[in-house]
Structure formats: structure tokens, C-alpha cells
Amino acid sequence: MPFFLLSAATPWSRCLLTAALTVAALPALAQTDREADTYETQKRLSVGVTKYTEARAALTSFIRKQATRVQKQEETPEQLTAEFSVPVGLLPRLDSLTASLGYVLENNLNSYSLNPRRQELETEAQQLVASMGRVQTQLREAKLTKEERENLQEEQERNEARLRRTRQQQELLLSHAGQAYVTLRLFDEISFPTGNRRVSFVNMPGVEVGYLRLDNPKLGLTSPAYRGYAIKYLFTRGKSYFNLGVYKPTTTNKSDSAFVNELFVINFGQDFYPRNFGRGRRRYLNLYTSYQVGGFILNRNDDQENDFIPNLNLGLGVELIKTRHILLDTKASYFVPLNSRSRDLRGVLGQASFNFVF
């Protein structure tokens, strides 16, 4: 408002105007403090589920029946986010419900003491009351000029507005006693496989040993089995990796020129954890399925017509030991060359590897 209009207004109209401006400013003032900061107990939950529709229905029913206040609730076909308050005594029930729905990725509980904030508000209220009493005493003096009286009235109105806000904050803290502020995220693991859309890269070189037993070894052309060793390089926690290695026959044959005496292998592979049995987050015995795709160079005794043959492996594995720094796992897969030599070279491939964070 222009200054000349405010100056021209009567004391009574200025009083009404100040009150109106104070009321209009209350929402903005209320938004300066986070809602969660007015609760002594705060909880964060992040849950991944495979049956998203049923889980969403169960959680929305819990919120509707048990929440004392819902600050936010947003739903999409892939996830539900909500912020609400419940009595602290209901938190174990919420934990049991979320654990039964899927895998809890995050469950953080924090407690804060709001006593310093309460004391601060009480001190502020006392100071405002004392200031209002002092201004009221000054207003009773008869020797005040018109301008001095108007200034004192404006100061009194400001004190009254501040006191109302302080009392409101005190009442808010009192009303939240015994309540917990919950921030919940429920997501569909099919749409959000890791709980977010980011890829977690790692740098984990390692070594791998393998044993390939052929189903149909051909006399004079292939050995019944091949032993190998390789470099295995993991680059995501998924797990995604490359391996590069060589396999040698367990029985040698130097008389036949067409005998396969070496398989030089290069593959790209990925492992996938089941949605049950720990989801790959346990320290021991994590089950997974895997595939490897790539190819190998087939070398013969005569070193003639060496071929590059594509291959595909499908397998099942178990991580024996898994920590933040090392990984020891083993797998069995079916080795399938994708060409006319498939019958002679396909078989069961067993592999064991050790990787470490570099």
C-alpha cells in the first residue's frame, strides 16, 4: 500500500489494516518451519514390493484409519509417497505391515527433544506480554502527542500479532506430543528394480576358474573336458561384468591336426537376484540366475582356420561370501556355441570367481 494512504488513514482504520495484513501473513509464516520439525519422533520408510496394487491398498487403508493428520499423499501407477502422523505406539504395527508387504529398503527412526524450542517460545511469549504491558502503561499517559500515541498503538498491534503466532506454535507442539511424523515411499520393484533409476557402478576386478564338461566330445577333435582361467571384471552392483580367459583340454592330443587345443573366451554377463531369499543383500549364500553372451576363438593343433564362434550361457549361481569389499561366488551354466559345432562343444560349465574392490 502507498505510504500516503497509510498516513491518511485514521487510527481505527490502521488498526483494522494491520490486523488484516497479519492474518494474510500467517500461512507464509507457518510454512517457514518444516512440518516434520514440530514432532519429536520422525520416521522414514522405503518399501519395494512385487504386488504393488495390494500393497498400496493395505497402506492407504492404514493411513486412512490410523493417521491423525495427512500432510501429503501422492499416488502413481508405479509408486506411492505419503507424509502423515500417527501415535508413536502404532509404529511397531506399521513396521510389521511394511515388512509383510515386501522388502524394506529404508527404515530410519529419529528422536529429537523439543524442550529447547518450547522454552524459547515460552521466553518469547513472556517478553511480549511484558512489552505489551509497558506499552499499555505508556498509552495511559495524557501528555502524549498524536504521533506518539499512534506509534505506540502500532507497536502494540505488532506485539499482539507476534504473541498470537507464538501461542499458535506452542499449541502446535503440544498437539503433536506423543505423535510421530512418517515419510513413506512405496514402489513397484518391477518398475523400480533397485528403488531408484540410477545404476550403481563399482570397480571390482578379479579372477575366475572354470571347468567345461562336454556332452558329446568327438574323438580326435575335442577333449571330454576343458579347464580354464579368466579375468573377471565387475562394473555394476547388478551384477554386470566382462570375463576374458582361456580353456585348455584335460586330455591332450597332438597327433590329430584338427584337435581343439584351446578356447579363448570373451563374454559379457549379468546376474539377477530373486525377489525373495534376500534379494542379493545378504552376506552369505545369495542365490541368483545369470546369462553370459559373447564368443570364443577355437584353436586347433594345426593353427589353421581358427574360428570365432558366438556362444550363450544360461545358469544358476550362489554368492558364497559378499561384503562391501570382496565377492566370492560360484555358478553352473549350460555352455551353448551358436554355430554348426554346437553338438561337439556344448556342455555344462562350472565357474568360481573372486573379486575385490579396487
Confidence (pLDDT) at 22: 37
Q: Which residues pair with 116 in a beta bridge?
A: none
**pTM over cut 0.85:** no
32-62 in b/e form (b: 16+ CB < 10 A) is eeebbebbbbbbebbbbbeebeebbebbeeb
Yes or no: say if 265 and 244 are a contact pair by the CB < 8 Å rule. Answer: yes
Greatest mean pLDDT range, 27-31, 152-156, 221-225: 221-225
Look up cell 576363438; give the residue: 297
Supply the angle between the helices 146-175 and 115-139 in degrees, to the nearest 10: 160
Yes or no: say if 270 and 289 are a contact pair by the CB < 8 Å rule. Answer: no
Structural domain spans, the chain? 3-32+114-175, 41-108+178-188, 201-356
Confidence (pLDDT) at 192: 53
**What percent of the chain clears pLDDT 90, i.e. is strictly above it?**
42
Yes or no: say if 182 and 46 are a contact pair by the CB < 8 Å rule. Answer: no
Three-state SS at 232? strand
Q: Which amino acid is at 249?
A: P
**Among 207, 210, 254, 209, which residue's Cα sits nearest to residue 347?**
210
pLDDT tens for 37-72 read 888 899 999 998 878 889 999 999 999 999 999 999
pLDDT tens for 265-318 read 999 999 988 876 767 778 888 999 999 999 999 888 877 667 789 999 999 999
Handedness of CA 255, 256, 258, 262 (dihedral sign): negative
Confidence (pLDDT) at 90: 93
Mean per-residue pLDDT, 91-111:
91
Give the CATH fold of the 201-356 domain.
Porin (2.40.160)
Confidence (pLDDT) at 130: 87
pLDDT over 90 (residue 111): no
pLDDT over 60 (residue 232): yes
Average pLDDT of the chain is 83
CB atoms within 10 A of CB 26: 13
Of the two residues 271 and 141, the one the predictor is more confident about is 271
